[in-house]
Amino acid sequence: MCVLPLFIPLSITRLLVMAAYLAIFAMSWDMMSGYTGYVSFGHPFLIGLAAYVSAFLSHQEGFQPAHLVLPLYITIPLGIAAAVGGGMLFFLPSMRVRGPYFSLVSLAFMEILHRLIIAIRPEYTGGDRGLPALPAVVTGAVPNYYLSLGLMFTVAIGLWYVSRSNVGNVLNAIRMDEDVVEASGISTYRFKRFAFLLSAVTAGLGGAFYTHYLQSISPRRAFSATFLLDIIIAAVIGGMGTITGPIFGGYFLTFILEYLRPYLFGQWRLFAYALVAIFIVIYRPKGFYGIVQDIRSWFQRRRTGGEVYG
Amino acid sequence: MEQILVQGALLSGLYALIALGFTMIFGVGGVLNLAHAGYVMVAAYMYYMASYVLGLPVAASFVIAIGVSIALAIATYMGWVRRFLHNPTVVFVSTLILALLLGHIMTLAFFRENINVPPVVEGVTPFMGYTFSNNLIAGVIVSWVCIAIVLLFVRRTHMGRAMRALAMDRRGAIISGINPDMVNLTTWAISGALAGVAGIFYGSYTFLVPDMWVLPLIMSFAIVVIGGLGSIEGTLVGAHIVGFMETATVLAISDKLRSVPGLVIMIIVLVLRPKGLFGR
């Protein structure tokens, strides 16, 4: 995987970069929603907050009034801190409510931030048009490939480690029956807060680096329902609550969308994609991770002569 | 000030109609149908097509728009939601994708550009020094007639009582001989009809664009959360709070912030009183 860019064309390298970032977002979503069952519709809020803070602080555009400009190694951590801080301040009160209420509030946060960025001080945020010509962390497709891959593996290993620990077990238990977990003397709020914190850190990390990879940011792209659904669908296709699943989901989604391009034009491609996504959510809610598990248990059954199940 | 009051009342009626169908489905079935606002959009497009592209009379266009929207609601319920009532997450995500899918279909059929729909009812009415479009007034009258019919239906008919019974205690309702599947289907059909009526007037209130479902969906959230998810009275109150706030914001501050005050109130209500003003 490390020497891959030597053998493939640049266009595919660029695709791999996009896939790695989508995988980071999907894992971040999975940490929060896949494990605890609190479906977050507000991930673009966290991602967009980090991206906007880092983007705003790191460059000075002609149309903006003069302000402090900081180097990237300061603005990106600040962006992540903003995602965590903003998430804690605004998102966390919504953890008090359960199920659909939580999803509705998280979507509301995304919409509020979207509106505020457009309407409040457009001379700083760029308003509807967003901010162009941001500085890049590294330039060129191949260095960006290594950067995105490194980020993705860092996030994956970190989240995987957490999910293997007792914390992961508690979070899984919360999804199955929160009242029982609460009744057994575990503070579900603390565990949810921890999962949320991790999710916000990874979303912020991905968001800040992603926006400097794209070198631009606009509210229309950052806070769209399409972007939100890409993240959720990548996680669901891969398999919710598995961490490794969303990585696969991110790559699969990016490449399937790209390779459908010659066969299905423009809107037809998005149409087919949404249709397939609905079928996967309905018929294979466990995603590809579930399919792999099914195949594995099928082989196990064959080896043992079909007598042992499960 | 007068303008805020009158225009707020008009917008609130339309919002109440959209949110009512949304909250009924949750009250009876326990799931949220995020495609609801998608039906509103499809109905708006269908009315436009029937009335202005095909040139059919208004009554026929109404029937087509509402019929398509009811058909969509029934198809969603019978297609898969029926089998996933125990798993709200699947319904949640799949209906959100469905709303997006409906947007894609509308793009394929009508392209992405904004379409201005001529008003259903022509003309303006001067009132207290301001003028208000007859279209919006007609929309509000129709909205309130529909709301009244639904309230009467829920309170007076056998099926309406079955709906309320199912919302209160599912198991008890089944034991007393209520077929939950039939009641759910009726609820979805009514909700689809409400979305259809709302779509006709909402389309001419704004303009047609394939992502026009996002704002009504988010405002419906705010309304039902403020009022209490599943409560009809709460929805009517919530719709007026949100409608007046939105009108005041648009007229006094900026059109770009139109959705913000409603959402802020929703968050305050959720933190202080998570079940909403009228929630059980």
CATH code of the domain in which B57 resides? 1.10.3470
Residues of B with CB under 8 A from a CB of A: 26, 32, 80, 84, 87-90, 92-94, 96-98, 100-101, 104-105, 107-108, 211, 214, 218, 221-222, 225, 229, 254, 256-260, 263-264, 266-267, 270-271, 274
Q: Which of A93, A103, A267 sits opposite B104 (nearest CB)?
A: A267
Per-residue confidence (pLDDT) for residue A310, from 0 to 100: 46
Q: Which domain holds residue B134?
A: 2-272
Q: How many CB pairs under 8 A join A and B?
A: 102
Residue B110 has pLDDT above 80, yes or no: yes
Calpha distance B115→A270 (Å, rounded) = 22
Contacts of B92 in chain A (CB under 8 A): 39, 100, 103
Calpha distance A53→A179 (Å, rounded) = 38
Is residue A267 within 8 angstroms of chain B, CB to CB?
A: yes
Nearest CA in chain B to A275: B101
Residue type, A102: F
Per-residue confidence (pLDDT) for residue B58, from 0 to 100: 87
Is residue A281 within 8 angstroms of chain B, CB to CB?
A: yes
Burial of A301 (0-12, 13-18, 19+ CB in 10 A): middle
B7 in any annotated domain: yes
Mean pLDDT across the stretch B79-101? 86
B277 in any annotated domain: no
Residue A281 has pLDDT above 50, yes or no: yes
Q: Which of B89, B98, B225 sits opposite A278 (nearest CB)?
A: B98
A203 in any annotated domain: yes
Q: Both tokens of residue B14?
A: 């339309």
Task: Flag if B225 and A101 touch (Cβ within 8 Å).
Answer: yes
Residue A49 has pLDDT above 50, yes or no: yes
CB A210 within 8 A of CB A222: no
Start-to-end Cα distance in chain A: 34
Per-residue confidence (pLDDT) for residue B280, from 0 to 100: 67
Residue type, B43: A
Per-residue confidence (pLDDT) for residue B215, from 0 to 100: 85
To probe the interface with A, which of B85, B86, B90, B104 has the most A CB atoms within 10 Å? B104
Contacts of B94 in chain A (CB under 8 A): 278, 281-282
Task: Flag if B101 and A275 touch (Cβ within 8 Å).
Answer: yes
B30 torsion bin: left (phi>0), alpha (psi -120 to 50), beta (else): left
Per-residue confidence (pLDDT) for residue A306, from 0 to 100: 54
Per-residue confidence (pLDDT) for residue B5, from 0 to 100: 80
Task: Flag if A271 and B218 touch (Cβ within 8 Å).
Answer: no
Prediction ipTM score: 0.80
β-pairing verdict for B130-133 and B124-127: antiparallel
Q: Both tokens of residue B89?
A: 């997450």
Q: Both tokens of residue A268?
A: 């037809």
Per-residue confidence (pLDDT) for residue A284, from 0 to 100: 75
Task: Flag if B93 and A107 touch (Cβ within 8 Å).
Answer: no
Residue B128 has pLDDT above 80, yes or no: no
Angle between helices A10-29 and A188-214 (to 10 degrees): 160
Q: Which domain holds residue A23?
A: 4-304
Percent share of chain A, pLDDT over 70: 94
Higher pLDDT, A47 or A136: A47
Contacts of B100 in chain A (CB under 8 A): 225-226, 229, 274
Residue B234 has pLDDT above 80, yes or no: yes
A309 in any annotated domain: no
pLDDT-based confidence at residue A300 (cuts at 50, 70, 90): confident
Task: Flag if B98 and A268 touch (Cβ within 8 Å).
Answer: no
Q: Pick from A191-205, A230-244, B121-135 the range whose average pLDDT is largest.
A: A191-205
Mean pLDDT across the stretch B197-219? 86
Q: Both tokens of residue B18?
A: 């959209």
Per-residue confidence (pLDDT) for residue B192, from 0 to 100: 95
Task: Give A251 to chain B, closest Cα distance, Å.
Answer: 20
Contacts of B218 in chain A (CB under 8 A): 107-108, 111
Higher pLDDT, A241 or B68: B68
**Residue A137 per-residue DSSP state:** S
B280 in any annotated domain: no
Task: Flag if B225 and A104 touch (Cβ within 8 Å).
Answer: yes
Per-residue confidence (pLDDT) for residue A9, from 0 to 100: 79
Mean pLDDT across the stretch A73-88? 88
A310 in any annotated domain: no
Mean pLDDT across the stretch B252-272? 85
A243 in any annotated domain: yes
Mean pLDDT across the stretch B76-104? 87
Q: Pick from A153-167, A232-246, A296-310, B80-94 the range whose average pLDDT is largest.
A: A153-167
A240 in any annotated domain: yes
Percent share of chain B, pLDDT over 90: 34
Nearest CA in chain A to B89: A39
Is residue A92 within 8 angstroms of chain B, CB to CB?
A: no
Q: How many structural domains compose chain B?
A: 1
Per-residue confidence (pLDDT) for residue B145, from 0 to 100: 94
SS3 content of chain B, % helix, strand, coil (to 5): 75, 5, 20
Dihedral (CA of A181, A183, A185, A187) sign: positive
A163 in any annotated domain: yes
Burial of A150 (0-12, 13-18, 19+ CB in 10 A): exposed
Phi, psi of B87 (to 5 degrees): -125, 80
Calpha distance A55→B266 (Å, rounded) = 30
Calpha distance A54→A71 (Å, rounded) = 10
Is residue A119 within 8 angstroms of chain B, CB to CB?
A: yes
Task: Flag if B259 and A225 touch (Cβ within 8 Å).
Answer: no
Q: Which of A86, A94, A93, A78 shows the shortest CA–CA distance to A40?
A: A94
Residue A309 has pLDDT above 60, yes or no: no
Phi, psi of B126 (to 5 degrees): -75, 140
B249 in any annotated domain: yes
Per-residue confidence (pLDDT) for residue B77, from 0 to 100: 93
Per-residue confidence (pLDDT) for residue A23, from 0 to 100: 94
Q: CA dihedral defined by A22, A27, A28, A33, rounded to 10 degrees? A: 120
**Residue A96 per-residue DSSP state:** G
pLDDT-based confidence at residue A112 (cuts at 50, 70, 90): confident
To probe the interface with B, which of A265, A278, A284 has the most B CB atoms within 10 Å? A278
Contacts of A39 in chain B (CB under 8 A): 89, 92-93
Calpha distance A141→A11 (Å, rounded) = 8
Task: Flag if B274 and A97 touch (Cβ within 8 Å).
Answer: yes
Is residue A74 within 8 angstroms of chain B, CB to CB?
A: no
Mean pLDDT across the stretch B216-243? 89
Residue type, A144: N
Mean pLDDT across the stretch B12-28? 90
CB A208 within 8 A of CB A79: yes
Per-residue confidence (pLDDT) for residue A28, from 0 to 100: 92
B58 in any annotated domain: yes
CATH number of the CATH domain containing A201: 1.10.3470
Phi, psi of B131 (to 5 degrees): -115, 140
Phi, psi of A156 (to 5 degrees): -60, -45
Question: To 5 degrees, how large is the angle CA B169–CA B273–CA A180?
Answer: 55
Mean pLDDT across the stretch A15-34? 90
Mean pLDDT across the stretch B153-164? 91
Q: How far is CA A56 from the centre of its chain?
A: 21
Contacts of B257 in chain A (CB under 8 A): 115-116, 119
Burial of B152 (0-12, 13-18, 19+ CB in 10 A): exposed
**Which spans in chain A are helix H?**
10-29, 35-36, 43-58, 72-86, 99-119, 122-125, 141-164, 166-176, 178-183, 188-214, 219-222, 225-238, 244-259, 266-283, 287-303
Cα-trace Rg, chain A: 20
